[in-house]
Structure 1
C-alpha cells in the first residue's frame, strides 16, 4: 500500500502545501485569561505575557501573529506553553523540524502587502494552502544549522551596534540633557515649526498587486532597525508606481518615523529612491535643524512617551501629523548640533551596521535558495 506521507526529494526538495508540514495548534487564550498562577509560559505578539498552571501545546511549535501591527511575524515556542488568540500556533507534523518550519514560514513573508487603516488579519485556512519546499530530515537539519550560524553573527553585530549607540546616547544627554523636559529652563519649539510633516499614503493608493521585487523600496516601521533603514528587496514598487506617488518620496535627510506599532522608531534617510509606507510618516527638517539631531530627539525616551500618551486608537495606537507637530522639544544652536554630529561620526557604527545589513540580506538569500517555488522547477 502506498504511503500517504510526503516522500522526500533531495536537492531542491518536494513541492507540497504548508498544511502538509504542520497543523493548527491551540491559540484561544485572551489576555484576561492569563492568571499568572503557574510555571507554564504564555506568549503574545510582543513576547512573554504571563504564566499559567496549565498549557495548550505539548510539543515545540511555531507561533505566527495573525492580526495587528506585527501580522505575519513568526517565532519559535517551546513545548508545554501557550499563545494568545492573536497568535496562531503551528504544530510540526512527524518528520518536520520545528526550526525548519520557522524559517520556512518566515520565507513566506505572510505580513507583506497589507495596507490601509483597518487591522490586517491572516488565517491558516488560507496561507496553509501556499506551496512550500519539503526537504529530508537530514537536509532540514543542515538548513537549520546554517540559519543558526547566521543568527549568531547577527546577534553579535547587534550587540556591537547597541554598545556604540549607548555611547552616542550618553554624549547626547551630556550635551543637551532631556530635550523634552517640561520642567527645564530651556526654550521649547513645536516640531511643526522646524520641519514639514506628512503621513504615508492611504491604503487605497497601494495594493498587494503593486508590489514587485527589485524596485523602489517601501519603508514601513519593520524596516527601521535600530536607527538604520534596512529595506526589503521583495517589498518594492515599479518606476511608474513610484512616480505616481511623488508626494511620498523619501529624500536624503528626511526622518522616517513609524506611526503605529512601536512608536518612536525612526531613522535618517540616507539614499534616494525610497517610498514612505502606509505605516510611516515623514519629518523633513527645515533650516536651523540637523537631521541627525532631530532623529535623536524623536527617538529619545521622554519624547517617545509623550507621543504614546497622545497617540489615538484602541486596538493599535496611531500617530498623525497633528500629534507629532504639536510636540515640544529644545532646539540648540546649529554649532552645538554640528558638534554632536561630529562626535557621532567619530563613533564608527557603519562597519557593524553594514555587517548587519549584509547578514540580513544573506538570510533572505538563503531563504530564497532553500524554500522558493518557481515555475521552472
Structure 2
C-alpha cells in the first residue's frame, strides 16, 4: 500500500484505530445443539450457545493453525471464541466494511504470522500494521464498488469451478461407460490367463535410509497414479540391492498396480525412461501377454470406475487393518476385452484422446479461475491505493 496516497487520506497503525482482541473461549461441552445464538470459531460457525458476547457483526481473523489469517464476518448476536481475533474500528471515521476489505486483500497477513510448528497471529504482531483510509463517504463508495464487483466475480468463479469439475469428471464418465457395458464380442478371462507375471517386490533392508541418490529405480506406490507416473521422490537402489529383487524386474510396457494402503488400486503403465527398475512390496507388476492383451488397454480398464470400485471393495474385504490386494485376488480378477489386440489399441487411443481433451478443457477453466482471482486482487489493490474510479 502506498503511503498517504492522497492528501485527504489518513494513515495509522491498526492498533491505534481498532480494538484487537481474542474473546473468551467456551468448550464444545458448553455448547447447546439448539441454542439460540451461533458460536464462531476459527473458520465460521462451530455450534450454538445460550448466550452471546457480541451484539453486532464482527470482523474475525483466524489466529491459530493451518488456516491462520482467514477472514470471516460474524452474525449479529453471536458468541465469538478465542480462536478468532476480533478486529473492530474504535474511531468514528473508519468503517468496519472498509477494514474487512483491507483484510481480505490489501494486507499481507503472512508477514504477521508467527510460530513454526503452530502458526499464529497475535495482537502484538497485528497492531503495528499500517492502514490508509479516506473520509467515510469515500470508504462507503469504495465498499459499494467492491461489493458489486465481488458479487459478479463470485458468480463467475462459482460457474467456472462447476465447469472445471465437470471437465475433470467428463473423461471419468466416458471411461466408466466404456467398461460398464462391454460389447458382446468381447471375451472374458481371468488375469492369470492373459499375463506372464503378477507379483510385488520388497523394500531393501534399512528402508528409506538405504536408498541411493542414483542407480536403479525403485518404484513405490507414491509414484503410481491413475494413468500417469509421478517422478517426484523416485527412489534409487544400487546393483547389490537390486540383485535381491531379481524377481521383480520391471520390463517395458508392464502395468503397475498399487496393492496396499490409501493409494490401493492406482494403476499406470511403467514408463520406459525410468528403466531398469524394481518395485517394492506395495506395488504389483502385471505383465500382459502382448499377443492377447494391450498394456495400455489394461491400465485404462483397471482405472475405470467399474473395475476400480471392484478392486477397492476387494481390498477392503481382504485387508484386516489396512486395504490390501493379494496376488491370488489379482490373478483371479476377471477382465473383458476385444479379442483383437488392434481393436484394443484403437479403443485405448480414443480414450487417451478423450482424456487429453478433458484435461485441456479443465486447464481452460483453471486459468479462468486464476484470472478472476487476479482481477479481484487488482481491484483491492486499486481500492487501497486510492485509484478506484
SS at match of 2:148: helix
SS at match of 2:110: coil
TM-score, normalisation: structure 2: 0.50
1:151 Cα offset (Å): 1.1
1:195 Cα offset (Å): 1.4
Counterpart of 1:277 in structure 2 is none
In structure 1, C-alpha distance between the alignment counterparts of 2:386 and 2:51, rounded to whole Å: 37
Pick which of 333-342 and 41-50 moved more: 333-342
Counterpart of 2:282 in structure 1 is none
Counterpart of 1:310 in structure 2 is none
1:333 Cα offset (Å): 6.2
Q: Does 1:361 align with 2:377?
A: yes
The answer for unaligned runs of 5 or more in structure 2 is 178-189, 192-197, 201-219, 234-294, 310-346
1:18 Cα offset (Å): 0.7
2:23 to 14, 19, 27: 27
Q: Does 1:192 align with 2:188?
A: no
Q: Which runs of 4+ in 1 moved over 4 A?
A: 8-12, 112-117, 185-189, 332-335
1:354 Cα offset (Å): 5.5
Contact 1:73–1:111 (CA under 8 A) maintained in structure 2: no
1:370 Cα offset (Å): 4.2
Alignment length, in residue pairs? 232
Contact 1:133–1:370 (CA under 8 A) maintained in structure 2: no
Distance 1:126 1:159, change over 3 A: closer
1:19 Cα offset (Å): 2.0
Contact 2:64–2:118 (CA under 8 A) maintained in structure 1: yes
Structure 1 residues 222-251: Cα deviation after superposition (integer angstroms, max 9, x where no partner): xxxxxxxxxxxxxxxxxxxxxxxxxxxxxx
Structure 1 residues 176-235: Cα deviation after superposition (integer angstroms, max 9, x where no partner): 459xxxxxx99998232431335xxxxxxxxxxxxxxxxxxxxxxxxxxxxxxxxxxxxx
The answer for unaligned runs of 5 or more in structure 1 is 1-7, 179-184, 199-287, 303-331, 372-377
SS at match of 1:133: strand
Which structure: larger Rg?
2
Distance 1:73 1:354, change over 3 A: closer
In structure 2, C-alpha distance between the alignment counterparts of 1:9 and 1:112, rounded to whole Å: 22
1:52 to 46, 49, 54: 49
Contact 1:39–1:51 (CA under 8 A) maintained in structure 2: yes
1:79 Cα offset (Å): 2.3
1:88 Cα offset (Å): 0.8
1:174 Cα offset (Å): 1.1
Q: Does 1:123 align with 2:122?
A: yes
TM-score, normalisation: structure 1: 0.52
Contact 1:103–1:367 (CA under 8 A) maintained in structure 2: no
Point out the structure with the larger helix share: 2
In structure 2, C-alpha distance between the alignment counterparts of 1:119 and 1:350, rounded to whole Å: 31
Q: Does 1:153 align with 2:168?
A: no
Distance 1:196 1:117, change over 3 A: farther
Distance 1:34 1:10, change over 3 A: farther
